[in-house]
Amino acid sequence: MKLWPRQMFALSWGLYFGLGLGPAALLRRAANAPPRTLGADNAGGGPFGGMNHLFTIPGYTDYGNFEPLECIELPGKLFRAKASGERCKEVYLLNGQDRFFPERHDYTLTRGTLHAAWRVKASASAKGGRYSYVHPGHKPWRIWLENNGAGPAVWRLERMLAGRSTLETISAPPLAGGWYEVRLKLLPRGLEVEINRGRARRFEHDPYPPKFRMHFGSAQPDPGALAVVSEYRYVFFDRFPYPYTSEDAMPEGPEDARPGDGLFRALACKATQQAPRHSEGDLLELKDGSLLLIWSDYFAGKGWDGSPARLSAKITRDGGRSWSQPWTVVDFEPDNPGGNVMSASLVRAGDGDILLAYIGQVPGMKKKGMLLRRSKDDGRTWSGPVPITPNNGNQHYANNACFRRLRDGRIALSCREYVGGIRWPYLLYSDDDGKTWLAGKHVPAPDLTPAQVKGQNVNEPSVAQLPDSRLIMMMRSVAGGHFLSYSSDRGETWTKPYLSPLRGVCAPPYIATIPSTGDLLAIWSYGMTARSPLNSAVSSDGGKTWSPVKLLEQSENHGYGYTSVIFIRDRAHIVTSQYPAFASLERFQVQPGYSDLLFLSVPVKWFYRMP
């Protein structure tokens, strides 16, 4: 399991009082919402591929396309663009994951507005150098900080107007430590520039080319001069503005919320610096009607996948409005090579026992895999761990909330096996209430490029059962969206996966059957910048088309993932990981970032209601 590399170290998100939408938010929703019905003919029309980076991970070049790569440094919390010599006259971070999709993040700007923001400082002065050199491919404009040591640093803006070049000067003193906060508003024929929250100035220019890319970096035209080193703390580019504070951010919560819905939204687990990550949880209804939550509790100050983690639990008896004090279900064992445990899946077996599956390792296992514990007293006590995935020397993982009990009693756990670095989804299943387990065949290879196969293949599967008893599997990928595959033999074999209409960033999806209707519910991230916004969609034709598309979290001020849903009577209770993306809205900073566990309770009818 990989902890949202690009997204977890991104920037975006916000707070809002109430669940209503103001006029500006309604316009933004109308302009940027995915289509109401998603099918093969219109898939991919909604996601926007922006940039959103904090540069938290040292040496992590997957933040974007760096050119030339050898001329940059990523020491952690900084991107240094070092321009010097012949090879490194100009050094940039360009938008996009070019190794997977060279064309995905090209932009067109003939109407509307785009926004750029970055925090930067020049580490020294160099005559003729261009610090914080930013442009959309040079024309129709380019902006840089000029710091030649002969006087105060100034900003230069070169723009093309009626085919002629005009050079503008913008004076702005730096903030403490020499930093500059820059905001740009890109219009089809104009550019608004704001530096350190000063007065915004607008400049007219010629139209953009049909396709362009954003460049953030440094330039030193003289190969014999001193190096130009620009240090970027963050880089942002998107269709909405980067907020200064939480008050500037977007409204949170589900769209189209009404008083009669009885909607409830709260943090089930709030991250702290000591316990920075609460994630990969699952819910189960106990016999007394209360809800049991078990999740990955990272308690030792860091939130990497391999950081110390245990499985903790809470109970709510009032639909998520209040929670009991947490207790430990499976503890971290530092002397055990598999001491770090994570990703809980819960299911009630036919005999009434509760089964808990999670990632771990016990003596005798060649590699980490899935362990099973059983509770015969409704979650008060648990048996010891039993390995249930093949002990063949490969890693076998399942996400959280991956258990499904089929209508014929079979218990299924959607898993993936790592073979030579490639991840292969399959179904692990038991026909005797979890006492013995068998592994079905791998999902066949989809049509992907070699780079895409190596990057993710199809991964982190989620499974649901259709009314005709077939199974459907939904999988994340780096191919621009989520793949679907079907099984007609209870999960033992699968059809070749195809790219579904559910497009978006590579993030863990969730799919389940709505008990009251038999329709499919998918929850996934529709954007291409980060794991945001959190979308839901319903399909009544086995996944061919999806309608309506509804925003479970209308704000793009957080990323979301590793979702769990439990349906109880006419409501859906949901937990999902929530992490901040905008640096200005972070409560604190830890490595690699923090994650709360968000709880939502919405009526099932909400998924069908058109806003």
DSSP assignments along 65-90, one per residue: EEESGGGEE--SS-EEEEEBTTTBSE
Q: Pick the range with the lowest mean pLDDT from 320-324, 452-456, 540-544, 557-561.
A: 452-456
Q: Report the SS3 class of residue 260.
A: helix
Structure tokens at 282: 């699952």
CB atoms under 10 Å from CB of 604, counted, come to 19
Statement: residue 201 has pLDDT above 60: yes
Question: Domains in the chain, ordered, with CATH?
Answer: 49-238 (2.60.120.200), 264-608 (2.120.10.10)
In what helix (H) or strand (E) does residue 36 lie, and over which residues does it extend?
A: none
Q: Report the SS3 class of residue 245.
A: coil
pLDDT per residue as tens digits for the range 383-441: 999 999 999 999 999 999 999 999 999 999 999 999 999 999 999 999 999 999 999 99
Distance separating alpha carbons of residues 201 and 195, to the nearest angstrom: 9
Statement: residue 207 has pLDDT above 50: yes
Q: How much is the average pLDDT of 580-586?
A: 80
Statement: residue 30 has pLDDT above 50: no
Q: Within a 13 Å sphere around the CA of 62, how many CA atoms are in the beta-carbon half?
A: 12
Q: Report the SS3 class of residue 10.
A: coil
Question: Do 371 and 388 contact (CB within 8 A), yes or no?
Answer: yes
pLDDT per residue as tens digits for the range 179-194: 999 999 999 999 999 9
Tell me, what's the pLDDT at 98? 54
CB atoms under 10 Å from CB of 78, counted, come to 18
Question: Do 357 and 403 contact (CB within 8 A), yes or no?
Answer: yes
In what helix (H) or strand (E) does residue 28 lie, and over which residues does it extend?
A: helix 23-32
Q: How much is the average pLDDT of 567-583?
A: 93
Look-up: residue for tokens 């308690």?
299
Which one, of 36, 77, 42, 73, lies nearest residue 56 by Cα?
A: 77
Question: Do 76 and 57 contact (CB within 8 A), yes or no?
Answer: yes
CB atoms under 10 Å from CB of 244, counted, come to 15
pLDDT per residue as tens digits for the range 238-296: 999 998 787 788 889 999 999 999 999 999 999 999 999 999 999 999 999 999 999 99
Which one, of 46, 34, 15, lies nearest residue 582 by Cα?
A: 15
pLDDT per residue as tens digits for the range 129-140: 999 999 999 889
In what helix (H) or strand (E) does residue 179 lie, and over which residues does it extend?
A: none
Question: Do 302 and 314 contact (CB within 8 A), yes or no?
Answer: no
How buried is 325 (Cβ within 10 angstroms: 0-12 exposed, 13-18 middle, 19+ buried)?
A: exposed
* pTM tops 0.95, yes or no: no
Q: How many residues does the chain have?
A: 611
pLDDT per residue as tens digits for the range 340-355: 999 999 999 999 999 9
DSSP state of 497: P
Rounded-to-10 torsion of CA 455, 358, 425, 47: -50
